[in-house]
Amino acid sequence: MEQLNGLVESVLESAAEHELWSPHDTIVVAVSGGPDSVALLHVLHEISLTRTPLSLICAHVNHGFREESRQEAELVRSLAAELGIPFELAEFDIPSVMKESGLGPEGTAREKRYEFLIETARRYGARSVALAHHADDQAETVVMRLLRGSGLAGLAGIRWKRIEKKVELIRPFLRINKTALVGLCKEQGYTYAEDASNLLTHYTRNAIRLEVLPFLESYNGKVRQSLLQLADIAGTEDEFMETETAKCFAGIVSANHGKYTFERAAFAAVPAALQRRLIKLILNYLSAGSSSADFPKIESVRRGTLQEQPTTWILDLGGGLTCVRQYNTILFSSKPPKRQVSYTYQLSLPDSRLWLTEIGKVMTMTLLERVDFFTQGEDSGKLLAWFDGDELILPLTIRSRLPGDTIKVMGLNGSKKVKDIYIDDKIPASERSVIPLVCDGLGNIVWIPGVRRSMHAAVGRHTTSVVLLFLEEAGKSEVT
């Protein structure tokens, strides 16, 4: 009884520290029939009777892997009956389910097991599902993640609690080693099952438990304790970094219609550790929480953002995610960049309004007999332009950009490539295809709205009539 009381005190201490439950909570206890989960059910039952009122549900999954599975299910059923705890059983033919899931046997079994446990918790209105992972499991997990290559979040190992589909998964035994749990079962005479597959080293976790950790212990007899300390330290520091990353995200990232952007200067001012986490957070948002953000992808985005050249690039991050650098702006999207649009329209008097459906804009042309254009001037930096009505050759053609396009810019001797103008003005590549080009009746480009106008049909002192062109977003009021 002394050992049971010791474990009860240890679990209550951990439960208080990590807020694993409150009085009168309903908890589904996952019981496989092994010594760990049998000990968990007994400890939680003792707590519910003597320390904190809890309602327990015993849940068991028969994966159908071994001949002993039915016997183990009956063992757990008998245990629940002995303690007066409701019992729930799920039986799966995992080999058959594997064909549909596309996962291996362990992955499929885990998926179906958690699906059943969460569904059971919902049926009973339970706050949480208690799992029997212990300190040895934690040490093995940290080693596995070290071998795989992991960041701080991975080194934190198994968490005391986490939310899955609005149900908490709690692990009250994470500071208790397996030896203590097996010792409790033997001292109290609790019946439990032995899973022979735990001795098969072709499973990675088994190999780490049976071969790797004993080897490491030959160099450091306290290596398991060191791994637990690493997990504790990494876990608390990871939580701190998550909070700081959220603050950083709120400070420098703009979200708009499923796209996330930040400015290069603001990003460069952030410490490298937060830079990586910020990129990972954005990619996780775009991929709905799936783990598509591995270190090489994150680092390629980070380094590409910090380097001086090139100033424009696009990275395919897989899973439909892209990152685009547009000079000093970095843009993340879950959709591929817009395809190059192609269109050609004609506009001539007395027509006054033309819808450019491909780019969602409207071109308006107005003929003015007399206007104080000397006061208003020709503003090539806005989406309107003035032309001499007698010199402008109609009809006008409004079209998308073509390779090799050039324009005779006012104040410049000769022509300049439209592409070079876009580059000089740092117009992002993703925006260039939606800027229309206005050509006169001879095919000369006379205006690039918002960018440049040409030297053709310039308004002068002897101008008697003026053609006003205006480009606006579709749906906005017409300029007259």
Q: How far apart are CA 41 and CA 83, in angstroms?
A: 9
Measured in whole angstroms, the distance separating CA 282 from the mean position of its chain's CA atoms is 6
Phi, psi for residue 215 in degrees, rounded to 5: -65, -45
State yes or no: 33 annotated in a binding site.
yes
Q: How far apart are CA 282 and CA 296, in angstroms?
A: 15
State yes or no: 360 annotated in a binding site.
no
State yes or no: 37 annotated in a binding site.
yes
Q: Which residue has the tokens 């424009």?
A: 312
Among residues 365, 325, 373, which one has the least CA distance to residue 348?
A: 365
Among residues 370, 364, 376, 434, which one has the least CA distance to residue 400?
A: 434
Alpha-carbon separation of residue 20 from 16, 23, 47, 50, 274 (angstroms)? 7, 11, 13, 17, 30
At CB < 8 A and 24+ separation, what contacts does 225-229 make? 227/138, 227/139, 227/142, 227/143, 227/157, 228/135, 228/138, 228/139, 228/175
Q: Is residue 71 classed exposed, middle or buried when 0-12, 13-18 and 19+ CB atoms within 10 A define those classes?
A: exposed
Which tokens hold the place of 429? Answer: 């590549």
At CB < 8 A and 24+ separation, what contacts does 220-223 make? 223/139
At CB < 8 A and 24+ separation, what contacts does 460-463 make? 460/388, 463/373, 463/388, 463/389, 463/390
Which tokens hold the place of 141? Answer: 């997990």
Q: Which residue has the tokens 């990619």?
A: 283
Whether residue 172 contacts residue 138, with contact meaning beta carbons closer than 8 Å, is answered with no
State yes or no: 35 annotated in a binding site.
yes
Among residues 110, 89, 90, which one has the least CA distance to residue 98?
A: 110
DSSP characters over 333-347: ESSPPPPPP--EEEE
Map residue 26 onto helix, strand or coil.
strand
Read off the amino acid at residue 475: G
Among residues 112, 120, 119, 59, which one has the least CA distance to residue 85?
A: 59
State yes or no: 405 annotated in a binding site.
no
- Sign for the CA dihedral angle at 458, 459, 462, 467 comes to positive
Q: Assess whether the previous peptide bond of 337 is cis (omega < 30° from 0).
A: no
Give the β-pairing of 26-30 and 55-62: parallel
- The binding site comprises 32-37
- The binding site for ATP comprises 32-37
